[in-house]
């Protein structure tokens, strides 16, 4: 059984949020250098959504019914 310690409430750096942000940055760069606006748009959306979810998860706000999302 898992105890309710202070280590449970402080979630360390999670690679999932960083993965979404890095993917968004890669798509932004590819879209910029190849002049494909759809990749630039999708990359920008991924970066913004990744950062918002990462911040909400770090603050401890429940996102989608989960206490820690990213």
- 27 lies in which domain range? 14-59
Assigned domain for 28 exists:
yes
Count of Cβ atoms closer than 10 Å to residue 39 Cβ: 18
The answer to pTM > 0.85 is no
For residue 41, is it within any domain?
yes
* Lowest-pLDDT range of 9-18, 22-31, 39-48, 58-67: 9-18
Backbone torsions φ then ψ of 39, nearest 5 degrees: -70, -40
Tokens in use for 66?
């989960």
Query: Tokens 């879209």 correspond to what residue?
Result: 31
pLDDT digits (tens, 9 = 90+) for 1-34: 455 444 444 444 455 677 888 999 999 999 999 9
Whether pLDDT at 41 is above 90: yes
Q: Structurally, how many domains does the chain consist of? A: 1
Phi, psi of 69 (to 5 degrees): -100, -50
Query: Residue 24: inside a domain, yes or no?
Result: yes
Whether residue 9 lies inside any domain: the answer is no
Distance CA 70, CA 26 (A): 19
- Structure tokens that stand for 49 in this block: 């959504």
């Amino acid at each position: 059984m898992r105890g309710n310690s202070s280590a449970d409430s402080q979630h360390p750096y999670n690679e999932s949020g960083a993965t979404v942000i890095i993917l968004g940055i890669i798509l932004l760069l590819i879209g910029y250098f190849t002049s494909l606006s759809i990749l630039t748009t999708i990359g920008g959306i991924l970066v913004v959504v990744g950062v918002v979810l990462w911040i909400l998860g770090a603050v401890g706000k429940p996102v989608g019914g989960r206490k820690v999302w990213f």
